Amino acid sequence: MAALPPGWTVHFMETLSDGSGDGAGEASDELLGAVRHARVYMGYGIPPEVLKHGTRLEWVHSGAAGVGSSLHPPMLDRDVMFTNSAGIHAVPMAETVTAMILHFARGLDVAIRAQREGRWAAPEFWAADAPVTELSASTVGVIGFGGIGREVAARAAAMGARVVGVRRGGAAGRGGAVGHGHPAGRIDVGSGPAALDRAISASDFLVLTLPETAETVRLMNRERLKSMKPGAVLINVARGRLVDEDALLEALDTGRLRGVGVDVFVTEPLPSGHPFYRHPRVLMTPHVSATTRGFWERQTELITDNIGRFSRGEALRNLVDKRAGY
């Protein structure tokens, strides 16, 4: 409350809110009554009813990073500023990605499987075709070079990997201020179809950290999965619909891909009995890669900073481009 400008009043809602995914669930009658005279709304996602009833709203903020479920006609038709919480999830998500990479690079899946079966698996690690490598001898592709992608790249480069990044626009480059103190020159970033094709075909570990838009749905289709390096690993912590799951299962079943680390799915919760649950080449987490005890500290800092900016008429952090979809 001390961070509020003079004259501000905050109405705290006590109704349940769903912070999973993009948010934007149903709005209660209590909430709709509260937004009628509000200038600012903050929640997990922005239900369309909030904008229909909140005719005086000037700024809405979502505590989620994804915005797909909030980009409905009332949002697109209104001249209201929309911010999200992209970036505050970057550190824990990058650490989850790093753990998934090392899980496959160091053969932890082999060790865990042998442990469950009561076997001493040393011969499997000594074999000439053992699926064990060093990250410093690998190429990590990062598709989506925003806050999360930069943190992934920083960690991979710090462990000696070559990183090939792909972003939507902007000039290509090497090194630069990416993440926290990465070794200059080990990160190459490009944009456009050629850069995307290069990252897919060259990567030993291909990481998806880009938003879901009309252009990125099924980005990793059957054709692109086939163009990945044999024995590569795909890691998806972005959105489930970026990947053709049926084609991915085929690539895993045939052994073309070493494995997949996946935190997001086309259908969530993932239905009981889905092949991912028992597949030996799948490492999955239930859409929790961003979970951290540091969430509220980062969220509070973003919100209070933006409240100050809003009250002073300054540009807000994390403004969403509603037409671009992120």
Instruction: Please give the positions annotated as active site.
Output: 239, 268, 287
Q: Which residues, in sequence order, are CB contacts of 290 under 8 Å at separation 6+?
A: 65, 89, 92, 93
Locus of tokens 């075909």: 201
Quote the CA–CA distance of 169 and 145 in Å, as a whole number: 10
Burial of 18 (0-12, 13-18, 19+ CB in 10 A): middle
| DSSP characters over 37-77 | T-SEEEESS--HHHHHH-TT--EEEESSS--GGG-SHHHHH
For residues 207 and 235, the answer to whether their CB atoms sit within 8 Å is yes
What residue type is 299 in one-letter code? Answer: Q
Q: Which residues, in sequence order, are CB contacts of 117 under 8 Å at separation 6+?
A: none
